[in-house]
Amino acid sequence: MEIERDTGMHTRGGVITERNSDFCTVRIRLPAGIINPQQLSGIARITKKYGAGTAHLTTRQTMEIPHVKIEDLEKLGRALEANGTPVGAEREEIVNITACPGTDRCRLANIDSIGIALETDRKYFAKNMPVRVRIAVSACPNSCVSERLCEIGITGVQQPIRNPGLCTGCGTCVNFCKEGALVVKSGDIILDRQKCIDCGNCIHICPFHIIKGDPPAYLITIGGKRGRHPKAGRPLVTVTTIEDLHTVIDMVVTWIYRKAWDGRLLGDQLDEIGFDTLKKDVLKRIQPEHVVSGPEIP
C-alpha cells in the first residue's frame, strides 16, 4: 500500500487556485519552453489522469494542467517530477525563464539565447523574492519574447562595422534597416549612429558579407512591466562577455532580493530602491573594456 506523503504541493507557486476552489491549475517548469518527446507524452498521460484532459500553453513558454482536484495534487506533483517536468513558479519568485530560438535556429540572432536561459534557470529558478521576477532572453532587438517588458531583460546586440571602400552600394541593407539608420548619399551608403540600435540585421543580411560587426554583446534592462500599464525596462549596462553577463544578473537578483518592497511591481520602485547606485556598482565590477557604450534601444 502506497503511503501518502505531503510534499507541500498546495504551497507551491505553480499551483494556482481556480475560480472553483475545489480545483487548481498546475503550472509546470519548462526552461525556454523546451520539451522532449518523452516528456510531452508524459504530460499527455498526466493531464488525462489528473486533469480534465486538456493542457494550456502559456505566454511564459510553459504549460498548465487545469482542473486538478485538490486531493490529487500530491500524486500529480510526484508524477510531474518523475517526468522531468516539475511544478513551476508563479508567485513572488523567479518564474519560468523564456528565450527566443537564438543562434540555434534564427538567422538574425546575435547570441545563444537558449543557452543563456537554461543556465539562468539552473541558477535562479523559483528563488523566493519580494516581487515576482520574470527573466527573458532575446537574441536581437526584435524582441520576440518581449524581454524589455520583463523585470530582467537580456538582449543580444551587435554594432556594425562598415567598409565603404568595399561596399558595392547594392542597397540591400538600406531597404532592410527598420530604423532608417542607413541612407544613400551621393552614391554612398551612410550609417547614422544616432538611429542605429545595434540589431545586427544589416550584418546578417549583406549579400556580399562586406558589413562586419563587433563581437556580440548583451544589453541588460531592469524593471520592465506588462499588465495594465506596460513599460519597457530601464537600460542598466551592455557587456561583451558571457561571464560579465552572469555577474551582472547575479548582482541584479541579489539587489532585488535585498532592496525591493513587496506589493509593488519592480518597475514602479526602481528609483526608491537605488537603481542609479546599482548601475554604479555594476560599472565598478565590470572591466571598462567589457562595457559597450552606444545608443540605447528605445
Q: CA-CA-CA-CA torsion for 12, 13, 19, 25, nearest 10 degrees? A: -80
Q: Is residue 14 within 8 Å of residue 29, measured between CB atoms?
A: yes
Strand 135-138 and strand 98-99: pairing?
parallel
Residue with cell 494542467: 65
Backbone angles phi, psi at 228, to 5 degrees: -65, -30
* Among 62, 87, 91, residue whose Cα is nearest residue 76: 87
The CATH code belonging to domain 98-158+215-290 is 3.30.413.10
Model confidence band, residue 98 (pLDDT cutoffs 50, 70, 90): very high
Q: Is 171 left (phi over 0), alpha (psi -120 to 50) or beta?
A: left
Backbone angles phi, psi at 242, to 5 degrees: -65, -35
Model confidence band, residue 296 (pLDDT cutoffs 50, 70, 90): low
Model confidence band, residue 282 (pLDDT cutoffs 50, 70, 90): very high
Strand 135-138 and strand 152-157: pairing?
parallel
Q: Is residue 254 within 8 Å of residue 247, measured between CB atoms?
A: no
Rounded to whole angstroms, how far apart are CA atoms 276 and 286?
16
Statement: residue 132 has pLDDT above 60: yes
Please write the tens of the pLDDT for every residue from 246-264: 999 999 999 999 999 999 9
The contacts of residue 240 (CB under 8 Å, 6+ apart) are: 215, 217, 218, 289, 290, 291, 292
From the options 3.20.20.70, 3.90.79.10, 3.30.70.20, 2.60.120.650, give the CATH code of 160-213: 3.30.70.20
pLDDT at 3: 44
- Two domains, one topology: 9-82 and 160-213: yes
Residues in the chain: 298
CATH architecture of 9-82: 2-Layer Sandwich (3.30)
The count of C-alpha atoms lying within 13 angstroms of the C-alpha of 170, restricted to the half-sphere facing its C-beta, is 14
Q: Is residue 18 within 8 Å of residue 32, measured between CB atoms?
A: no
* Among 52, 126, 43, residue whose Cα is nearest residue 79: 43
Cβ atoms within 10 A of the Cβ of 60, count?
21
| Alpha carbon separation from 174 to 25, 206, 254, 295 (Å, rounded) | 49, 10, 43, 19
Q: Where are the domains of the chain?
A: 9-82, 98-158+215-290, 160-213
3-state helix, strand, coil in the chain (%, to 5): 30, 20, 45
Rounded to whole angstroms, how far apart are CA atoms 147 and 55?
25
| Over residues 112-139, mean pLDDT | 97
Please write the tens of the pLDDT for every residue from 149-186: 999 999 999 998 877 778 888 888 888 899 999 988 87
